[in-house]
Amino acid sequence: MGNIFDIENLTKTYGEGASAVHALRGVTLTVPQGELAVLLGASGSGKSTFLNIVGGLDRPTEGHVLFQGRDITSLSDHDLTTYRRDHVGFVFQFYNLIPSLTARENVDLVTEIARDPMDAADALGLVGMAERLDHFPAQLSGGEQQRVAIARAIAKRPTVLLCDEPTGALDSKTGVLVLEALENINARTGTTIMVITHNAGIAAMSHRVLRFVDGRLDREEIRDSRVKASEIVW
Ligand SMILES: Nc1ncnc2c1ncn2[C@@H]1O[C@H](COP(=O)(O)OP(=O)(O)OP(=O)(O)O)[C@@H](O)[C@H]1O
């Protein structure tokens, strides 16, 4: 299978002159279709900036992101929004569910505007929440709410799922269920997944580990053997 992303010399500088912050200093890498990649690095090393540019939420100062061979960095704002809507699912540390809607209704909000959505119940089934369709967020644990947020992100069948610290607010036991949901989605739907985490142990379940240091890709590791999400502890 081909590459989903070919990323060339990605650079992002905030501000100018003496106060400039060099968030990314020339990152070059490829992400093959269907992989689950984990991004590690100290706070401020540029991981979120990288993911936001790859997902079309932000633009680089220099460099290119080719998505399936097409340069998204040269798209108009309108076309970048279309790219995001059609191809990218996002999951963040905080779930941002609508409290007055059930799990199913939170997912349905997205399926109503997608071109070829999954049934909300199927999306919730993929994350192990088939028994909780009609629960409201307040009736769900943090890990369960995050799994609803993941179901919401995948219901539109995105090409890539980008997760910024999806287990950051969770303990190991509930966090593992979230990781199992990601593992299941990757295996069952072939969705390419990129996960930012501070838990280095999570790298064990990935195909590829990307270590960021000071705005650079310091090390890239391709893993031959992977550990099951259910065996990860932190
Ligand atoms: N909008 C912004 N304006 C100015 N500086 C920014 C902005 N966004 C990020 N930065 C800076 O860019 C650098 C990289 O930040 P980024 O959030 O990408 O790092 P990170 O590795 O994701 O960190 P964390 O693990 O804490 O989320 C940091 O120095 C940060 O303060």
Number of structural domains in the chain = 1
Q: Domain limits at 211?
A: 33-53+86-231
Query: With a 6 A CB cut-off, is 211 part of the ligand 1 pocket?
Result: no
How far apart are the C-alpha atoms of 3 and 181, rounded to whole Å? 23
Residue 7 confidence class, pLDDT cut points 50, 70, 90: very high
Q: Are 197 and 144 in contact (CB under 8 A)?
A: no
Q: Please state the atom number of ligand 1 nearest to the C-alpha of residue 198.
A: 25
- Per the prediction, the chain carries an average pLDDT of 96
| Rounded mean pLDDT, 184-200 | 96
Nearest alpha carbon, ligand 1 atom 28: 44
What local confidence, expressed as pLDDT, does residue 9 receive?
98
Residues 189-195, mean pLDDT to the nearest whole number: 97
The CA distance from 220 to 13, in Å, is 23
Element (H, E) at 40: strand 36-41
Q: Measured from the CB, is residue 145 less than 6 Å from ligand 1? A: no
CA of 49 to the centre of ligand 1 (A): 6
CB-based contact 158:111 (threshold 8 Å): no
Question: Has residue 221 been placed in a domain?
Answer: yes
The stretch 90-101 carries a mean pLDDT of 96
How close is the Cα of 43 to the center of ligand 1, in Å?
8
What's residue 2's pLDDT? 84
Q: Does 184 reside within a domain?
A: yes
Given pLDDT bands bounded at 50, 70 and 90, which one contains residue 158? very high
The ipTM of this complex is 0.95
φ, ψ for residue 72 (rounded to 5)? -85, -15
In a domain, 144, yes or no: yes
Query: Is residue 164 included in any domain, yes or no?
Result: yes
160: amino acid identity, one letter: V
Q: How far apart are CA 117 and CA 168, in angstroms?
A: 28
- CA 187 from chain centre, in angstroms, equals 15
Distance (Å, whole) CA 159 – CA 223: 22
Mean pLDDT of 183-206: 96
45 lines ligand 1 (CB under 6 A): yes
Q: List the residue whose alpha carbon is closest to atom 29 of ligand 1.
A: 44
Q: How far apart are CA 125 and CA 131, in angstroms?
A: 8
The minimum-distance atom of ligand 1 relative to the CA of 215 is 14
Question: How do residues 99-147 score in pLDDT, each as one tens digit?
Answer: 999 999 999 998 888 888 999 999 999 999 999 999 999 999 999 999 9
Residue 155's nearest CA partner among 204, 184, 118 is 118
% of the chain residues with pLDDT over 70: 100
Instruction: Determine the average pLDDT of the residues in 187-191.
Output: 96
Judge whether 101 lies within some domain. Answer: yes
Does residue 76's CB lie within 6 angstroms of at least one atom of ligand 1?
Answer: no
Domain for residue 149, yes or no? yes
CATH of the domain at 135: 3.40.50.300
Using DSSP bridges, classify how beta strands 21-32 and 192-196 pair: parallel, antiparallel or unpaired. unpaired
The answer, yes or no, to whether any atom of ligand 1 lies below 6 A from the CB of 41, is yes
Say yes or no: CB of residue 27 within 6 Å of ligand 1: no
User: Residue range 211-230: average pLDDT?
Assistant: 96
Residue 171 lies in a domain: yes
Question: Which DSSP category does 226 fall into?
Answer: -
Q: What does the pLDDT average to over 87-106?
A: 96
Residues 17-37, mean pLDDT to the nearest whole number: 96
Q: What is the pLDDT of residue 98?
A: 97
pTM: 0.95
| Domain annotation covers residue 129 | yes
114 and 186 Cβ atoms separated by less than 8 Å: no
Confirm or reject: Cβ of 117 under 6 Å from ligand 1.
no
- By the 8 A CB rule, do 106 and 98 touch? yes
Across the range 206-221, mean pLDDT stands at 98
User: b/e for 209-218, b at 16 or more Cβ within 10 A?
Assistant: bbbbeebbbe
- How many other C-beta atoms are found inside a 10 Å radius of the C-beta of residue 171? 11
Q: With DSSP H G I counted as helix, E B as strand and the rest as coil, what are the percentages for the chain, rounded to 5?
A: 35, 30, 35
Give the distance (Å) from ligand 1 centre to CA of residue 150: 24
pLDDT for 1 equals 63
